Amino acid sequence: MTLLETIKTPADLRALPVERLDEVAADIRAAIIDQVGRTGGHLAPNLGVVELTIALHYVFDFAHDRLLFDVGHQCYPHKLLTGRLPLLDKLRTREGMAGFPEPLESEYDLFRVGHAGTGISTAVGMARGDTLTGEAFHPNANPDGRRVVTLVGDASIVNGVAMEGLNNAGTLKRQMLVILNDNGMSISKPQGAVSQYFDRVRVSHTYSDFKKGAKELLQRVPGGGVLKEAYHRAGEMTKALITEDSWFSKFGLVCAGPIDGHHIPTLIEFFAEARDMDRPIVLHVKTVKGKGLDVAEQDATRFHSPKAFAVERDEMLGCRIEMSSGGRSFTAAFGDALTAMMERDEKVVCATAAMPDGTGTTAALERFPDRAFDTGICESHAMDMLAGMAKCGLKPFFAVYSTFLQRAFDQAFQEVALQGLPVRLCLDRAGLVGGDGAVHHGFCDVSLLRTLPEAVITAAIDEPSLLAALEFMNGWDEGLSAVRYPRDSVSERFTADCPAFELGKARLLTPEFTDLDANAPDAAVLAFGTPAIHAAAAADALASEYRVSVYDARFAKPVDEDLIRDLVSRGIPVLTIEDHSVVGGFGSAVLEACSAMGLDASGVRVLGIPDGWVLQDSRADQLAETGLDAAGIARALRHLVGASAKGTRPAAAPHQEPKPTTERVEASSPSKEI
């Protein structure tokens, strides 16, 4: 039995002597490397915070105190120390451990969090909340009160919300510890002036420098009176580590460090002092992303969130990585298409927000450094920047995950759509995303963007249609446009012929039913995006029972009103399908079109992601769970056609509903209520 296996709660960790904590760290790394190697998951960011997490749980009691994560994918060590080792072998599945903080697993997790920049603000909120309820720690008035800690990492400190949080943290008059896990990386190389500042700090300071001049510094920096008082209250290590002319001091915050985030005794000593401070402190911790696995340290971007992999070591050939691979991905197809478009058209520019590998823009950034930009974790800035470039007559493309588009919706509204500017949104990870679960599903981009007047929203079903959509968008200068595509491999079913996109026109995928008068189908499917592939498979499976025409809808705004009028007026049952919420999505657009045209929509059935949270699992299992795989679509079609034959309004087709999110494998819970 490993030492880690004996730790059921952090209390077991605190019972160990400090000398044995490195052994715990080794066990945690081994467990994470083994599991992620078998199933995939977030590897490098978790390997980098092992010692830091151990020290935090050794000093603080997070069954009582508050621990908030910013960038939730660095939570694996925290989970293994809070009783969830038995869930690790089913990582990122419904039955196992989620890849992000998940309150349904354990009361040690306070928020579901997968978007960067939020941790400081939620920590300020809990600090204020505990103060108002009389539960806040105070060294004299309430020494048993709750302390607040937030762990910030992977360059999320540059996010605008993080800045807002820091601005308000400086006004607190109570304990709060902000830990900046500075690994010199975001998901890829960090961008911007702030990251350059931290680079300078890492190379220009040594630990012996910090104490020198600290008292003089406190006299001259903004907020110096507060900092001076905090300095006198601090222990010797905190005094020694106060940073001269810190960027954080401009917010009225005490800043200490940088210190070695892999030296457990130093971390414990500092945390023991900072725990009893009555002022907010920022601790700058230097860590190595991927620590403990040499290939991850050398290529932290590749091993940020790898698929399953094996490391083979050979004395002659050195280290070789075998990483599992599927077919060609939509991301790769987009990246190649974007680069080719930029070669042909010098007006095309692109941006990503800290996701060059994830969005397929790495090649464009390398080949066109003057026309391709990585803004860091700053989606709002990226959208506004591209609006400015569009105003100058350029053709901007924003490659962004659907879930992160939400962070820039206000800019899409105010600076893009309202101005009528042609910014082109390329929405990767649209729909159900698999193991990352609810924090990353792209389930509301259509419903958001459909509210914007004159916006155009498309979807790709395969690589040829993605290329055709991008060509359409490149020539569309009337305003905001978007194309969505999933985290999946491209299908090769309909690659023979792909006509160009025509605004608001669908494409028939089953030409045997072109003459609706002489050979009317029993039902028609209007599929938005890749569900068209599953719909075609369902139609094939039902061929001996029903004739089903399948359309690639192509547009959610504007929808193909001529086609909808033709089908509905002929009494042909219609099933709309989308890898998007049923609330406000493509199906809603079809029903709204029916209403506007005065059509009876009783024969229209909407199939999409139900109005509930879909937890982590494989994408295939999530599609089956929500009835969006071929089998689920076939069930829906049988129900639709059967109801139509009886002359009744089709009810909701029976399919496997999402499991209630309260059904979880139980892990150890803290002894105190949070």
330-484 against 510-645: fold identical: yes
Q: CA-CA distance, 595 to 591, in Å (whole number)?
A: 6
Q: What is residue 295's predicted lDDT score, i.e. its pLDDT?
A: 84
**Bridge partners for 607 per DSSP:** 577
CATH architecture group of domain 510-645: 3-Layer(aba) Sandwich (3.40)
- Residue 30 confidence (pLDDT) above 70: yes
Q: What is residue 235's predicted lDDT score, i.e. its pLDDT?
A: 59
- For the chain, give the mean pLDDT: 86
Q: CA-CA distance, 173 to 187, in Å (whole number)?
A: 34
Q: CA-CA distance, 204 to 80, in Å (whole number)?
A: 35
Q: Strand 280-286 vs strand 176-182: parallel, antiparallel, or unpaired?
A: parallel
285 token code pair:
């911790």
Q: What is residue 532's predicted lDDT score, i.e. its pLDDT?
A: 98
Q: What is residue 242's predicted lDDT score, i.e. its pLDDT?
A: 64
pLDDT in tens, 150-183: 999 866 787 888 889 998 998 999 999 999 998 8
DSSP 568-616: HHTT--EEEEEEEESSSSHHHHHHHHHHHTT--GGGEEEEEE-SS---S
Return the sign of the alpha-carbon dihedral for residues 397, 473, 338, 188. Answer: positive
Q: CA-CA distance, 561 to 565, in Å (whole number)?
A: 6
Q: CA-CA distance, 652 to 657, in Å (whole number)?
A: 11
Q: CA-CA distance, 406 to 426, in Å (whole number)?
A: 13
Q: CA-CA distance, 79 to 108, in Å (whole number)?
A: 8
pLDDT in tens, 383-394: 999 999 999 999
461 token code pair:
């079903």
Active site residues: 289, 379, 407
Instruction: Return the domain boundaries, the chain.
Output: 45-286, 330-484, 510-645
pLDDT in tens, 116-147: 888 999 999 999 999 999 999 999 999 999 99
pLDDT in tens, 66-81: 999 988 889 999 999 9
Q: CA-CA distance, 412 to 405, in Å (whole number)?
A: 9
- Tell me if 170 sits within 8 A of 252, measured CB to CB: yes
Q: CA-CA distance, 377 to 409, in Å (whole number)?
A: 15
- Residue 382 confidence (pLDDT) above 90: yes
Phi, psi of 300 (to 5 degrees): -65, -30
Sequence-distant (6+) residues with CB within 8 A of 60 are 67, 147, 149, 271, 275
- Residue 634 confidence (pLDDT) above 50: yes
pLDDT in tens, 647-673: 554 544 444 455 444 444 444 444 333
Q: What is the pLDDT confidence band of residue 643, given thresholds at 50, 70 and 90?
A: confident
Torsion angle of C-alpha atoms 59, 60, 63, 65, degrees rounded to 10: 170
- Tell me if 447 sits within 8 A of 581, measured CB to CB: yes
Q: What is the pLDDT confidence band of residue 217, given thresholds at 50, 70 and 90?
A: very low
221 token code pair:
């920096």
pLDDT in tens, 472-486: 999 999 999 999 999
pLDDT in tens, 34-43: 999 998 989 9
Q: What is the pLDDT confidence band of residue 642, given thresholds at 50, 70 and 90?
A: confident
Q: CA-CA distance, 190 to 184, in Å (whole number)?
A: 7
CA angle 147, 152, 157 (to 5 degrees): 125
Q: Quick one: the chain helix, strand, coil %, rounded to 5?
A: 40, 15, 40
**Environment class of residue 540 by beta-carbon count within 10 Å: exposed (0-12), middle (13-18) or buried (19+)?**
middle
Q: What is residue 226's predicted lDDT score, i.e. its pLDDT?
A: 43
Q: CA-CA distance, 405 to 383, in Å (whole number)?
A: 9
Q: CA-CA distance, 17 to 275, in Å (whole number)?
A: 20
pLDDT in tens, 46-57: 999 999 999 999
Residue ranges with strand state E in 219-273 = 254-260
Q: What is the pLDDT confidence band of residue 207, given thresholds at 50, 70 and 90?
A: very low
Phi, psi of 241 (to 5 degrees): -100, -5
Q: What is the pLDDT confidence band of residue 256, given thresholds at 50, 70 and 90?
A: confident
Q: Strand 424-428 vs strand 395-401: parallel, antiparallel, or unpaired?
A: parallel
- Residue 402 confidence (pLDDT) above 60: yes
Sequence-distant (6+) residues with CB within 8 A of 608 are 576, 577, 578, 579, 580, 581, 582, 585, 586, 587, 626, 628
Which amino acid, 411?
Answer: Q
Which amino acid, 538?
Answer: A
Q: What is the pLDDT confidence band of residue 565, given thresholds at 50, 70 and 90?
A: very high
Higher pLDDT, 155 or 583: 583
**Bridge partners for 555 per DSSP:** 458
**Bridge partners for 395 per DSSP:** 348
Q: What is residue 92's predicted lDDT score, i.e. its pLDDT?
A: 93
Question: Domain spanning 45-286 has what CATH number?
Answer: 3.40.50.970
- Tell me if 477 sits within 8 A of 458, measured CB to CB: no
Q: What is the pLDDT confidence band of residue 225, given thresholds at 50, 70 and 90?
A: very low
- Residue 233 confidence (pLDDT) above 70: no
pLDDT in tens, 508-542: 999 876 555 567 899 999 999 999 999 999 999 99
Q: What is residue 286's predicted lDDT score, i.e. its pLDDT?
A: 92
Q: What is residue 131's predicted lDDT score, i.e. its pLDDT?
A: 96
Q: What is the pLDDT confidence band of residue 239, given thresholds at 50, 70 and 90?
A: low
3-state secondary structure of 47: helix
283 token code pair:
């601790």
Q: Which of 67-71, 228-232, 499-503, 652-656 shows the highest mean pLDDT?
A: 499-503
Q: CA-CA distance, 318 to 316, in Å (whole number)?
A: 6
The mean pLDDT value for 248-256 works out to 81
Q: What is the pLDDT confidence band of residue 327, given thresholds at 50, 70 and 90?
A: confident
Distance of CA 84 to the CA centre of its chain: 22
Phi, psi of 178 (to 5 degrees): -105, 120
In the sheet with 372-374, reading across from the earlier edge strand, the strands are 372-374, 348-352, 395-401, 424-428, 481-484, 456-459, 555-557
Q: What is the pLDDT confidence band of residue 429, given thresholds at 50, 70 and 90?
A: very high
- Tell me if 83 sits within 8 A of 106, measured CB to CB: yes
The CATH number of 330-484, from 3.90.930.12, 3.40.50.970, 3.40.50.300, 3.40.50.10790, is: 3.40.50.970
- Residue 230 confidence (pLDDT) above 70: no
